[in-house]
Amino acid sequence: MAQVVVPASSARPLLYGAVGGLGAAAVALVVAGAAVGAQGRPPVAVANGVGAWFVRWLQTAAPSALDNFYLDATLGGLGIALGLGVVGGAALAGITGRLSEDSPLAWGLAAGFGFWLVAQWALVPALDPVLGRVLPSPGLALACLAYGLTLGWWLRAGRPVVGSGGWRGA
């Protein structure tokens, strides 16, 4: 018996995944904020650390400068984090929708681990070393795993609503 991939017939699963990615990114930001808070810094430092990707003066500012609210860096950092969450959610929904027999929760956990590896070893050192100083590797790992698990749970819960797309026997 052959397995045939059926092309997507609607954008509903991708939109559902994008909404889940938005929520999962919000959860990841809360977890990252708690990790930073455990070090005695305000949670806004995480958003500023991400926002330093494009607000370059923060990359050379004193470390305490990240502890304040800035319209461009803080809101920009939140926008980047949530936007990446939306894109990751839609992508993972597209992948797991084709794998009806696999668990989206396991794929979410694997994706969270993969996101941490890419962020830790490629994105943060190359684009924004400030984020690495604000949110050390264990905190970043927790945030990425929280993102993946939340998104995986969302996709698993939505399968009866959206449909798995999935593999079909031929």
- Counting the structural domains of the chain, the total is 1
CA 12/CA 44 separation, integer angstroms:
34
122 lies in some domain: yes
DSSP secondary structure letter of residue 135: S
DSSP secondary structure letter of residue 169: E
Residue range 35-58, pLDDT digits in tens: 999 999 999 999 999 999 889 899
Whether this prediction's pTM lies above 0.85 is answered by yes
CA 147/CA 29 separation, integer angstroms:
9
CA 148/CA 109 separation, integer angstroms:
5
Asked if 24 contacts 91 with a C-beta cutoff of 8 angstroms, the reply is no
Asked if 98 contacts 166 with a C-beta cutoff of 8 angstroms, the reply is yes
pLDDT of residue 168: 34
44 lies in some domain: yes
Domain that holds residue 81: 19-162
Q: What is the distance between the terminal CA atoms of the chain, rounded to a whole angstrom?
A: 7
pLDDT of residue 4: 52
Amino acid at the residue 67: D
11 lies in some domain: no
Name the β-bridge partners of 3: 169
14 lies in some domain: no
Residue range 17-31, pLDDT digits in tens: 999 999 999 999 999
116 lies in some domain: yes
1 lies in some domain: no
